[in-house]
A = this chain, B = another copy of it.
Amino acid sequence: MPVVSKRGEEMPQSPIRRLVPFAEAAKKKGTHVYHLNIGQPDIKTPEVAMEAIRNVHMKTVEYSHSAGIESYRRKLADSYAKHDIHVDYTDLMITTGGSEAVMFAFLSCMNIGDEVIIPEPFYANYSAFAYSTGVTVVPIPSTIETDFALPSIEEFEKRITSKTKGILICNPNNPTGYLYSSEEMEQLRQLVKKYDLFLLSDEVYREFCYDGKEHISAMHLKDIEQNVIMIDSVSKRYSECGVRIGSLVTKNKGVIDIAMRYAQARLSPPGIGQIAAEASLDTPQSYFDEVYEEYIARRNCLVEGLNNIPGVYSPMPKGAFYTVAKLPVDDTDKFCEWILRDFEYEGQTVMMAPGTGFYCTKGMGSNEVRIAYVLKVEDLKKALVTLEKALEAYPGRVFDKSLVSESKI
């Protein structure tokens, strides 16, 4: 039998994947599992998108342009103006999800062995995309002690080598929900300019900014227009993850030209998905207002609830729909398995993503979990009770007094 590739065997895997069989077994036993582990919102896809799908009346579903349907690209470029991002439709290309945009950005900016600095914790699949493209991730820790603020510029500079080609940020952040301030963005701007690096900015959660905080896009930063590549996606914005439509946006024509070569090889992004995404641009403001209210309610319920559990601490996230919480346990990988395998409270249990999957640095995140607030408030409340009961019952409980005072202020 021929052997599979070594690179395939060493490919980083989803941190949640290992837990899936335990969740499936729990469900088979009749236990209800609250899925707080994934970024799949239960929010309705806008009606304009669904209508556009139901109105598809073409004779032949042909390949689109490799960079995406021109009318969609034009309308998307126009729509960014609302966010004070001013681009021409030739400054962007439509991709198969934000995932492909990250892949194209790595391939276009970095050679095999080149380095990209990413503040951790970070979206686990960045590791997979970097690994697939032979790019080395250089993590720079941000910590729950500072509520995941941007690490200092000195820390970035310590990590810059001759192989450093770029910095990748996710803003608002998955998994932490952190939203970079204008001061932090200015620091990044100066750093990128000083070392002439690419700044890859994943802004797929742009619309999810809370408490009156403003989103500062990397595309707003002056004097580094040729350095910035924005990664975008319709998945979360319109709760249409399944259409698999994203975009890569940059004023750097060299990057667009190279990305197009990769785009042409795979022919075109999904056709019907593009139609849905284009129509989604006409989603009424009332939809976003409702979604916003819903997420605020969920966030407040979750984060207040977490901080009311003895020994648990979660910062109050200012964006996206995740938070990273510190739990009073020996090891969240063990705890997340245990709660699915050995625990239930009133026929219910909770699935969370262990923190270690979001860190590159060994040992970090082992008492943290990522929780997505993608469920209704009433479900979140039940999940919180279940979590509290589980923490009381868990044999590996570790009680950290410092956390209690911190979280109860």
Contact = CB atoms under 8 A, between A and B. Distances in A.
A11 interface: yes
Given A262-B11, A271-B244, A41 B60 contact: yes
A4 B266 contact: no
A11 B258 CA distance: 8
B2 A165 contact: yes
Contacts of A242: 61-64, 268, 270-272
Contacts of A272: 53, 242-243, 270, 272-273, 276
A266 B62 contact: no
Interface residues of A, number: 82
Contacts of A9: 258
Given A60-B44, A242-B61, A243-B272, A227 B96 contact: no
B56 A42 contact: no
Contacts of A334: none
Interface in A273-327: 273, 276
Contact of A112 (B7, B108, B258, B261): B7
A2 B227 contact: yes
A247 interface: no
Interface string A30-66: 0000000000111111000110011111111111100
Query: Which one of A40, A252, A272 has the highest number of Cβ atoms from chain B below 10 Å of its Cβ?
Result: A272
Interface string A238-257: 01111110000000101101
A4 B59 contact: no
Nearest to A42: B60
A9 B352 CA distance: 42
A278 B77 CA distance: 33
A125 interface: yes
Interface string A141-180: 0000000000000000000000001100000000000000
A162 to B, nearest CB: 13
A61 B48 CA distance: 13
A335 interface: no
A2 B108 CA distance: 11
A13 interface: yes
Contacts of A45: 58-61
Contacts of A107: 5, 7-8, 132
Contacts of A55: 54
A387 to B, nearest CB: 24
Contacts of A198: 2
Contacts of A1: 196, 226-227, 252, 254
Contact of A265 (B41, B60, B132, B257): B132
A398 to B, nearest CB: 31
A56 B54 contact: yes
Nearest to A98: B267
Given A44-B60, A111-B7, A243 B271 contact: yes
A222 interface: no
7 contacts: A5-B108, A45-B58, A63-B242, A97-B267, A99-B266, A132-B265, A244-B271
Interface of A: 1-9, 11-14, 17, 40-45, 49-50, 53-64, 96-97, 99-100, 107-112, 114, 125, 128-129, 132, 134, 165-166, 196-198, 226-227, 239-244, 252, 254-255, 257-259, 261-262, 264-273, 276
> Sorted from nearest, which 3 A-B pairs have the closest CB atoms?
A242-B271, A8-B258, A128-B265
Given A1-B254, A8-B261, A45-B61, 13 more contacts: A2-B165, A2-B252, A8-B108, A45-B58, A50-B57, A61-B239, A61-B240, A61-B241, A97-B267, A125-B266, A242-B268, A244-B268, A244-B269
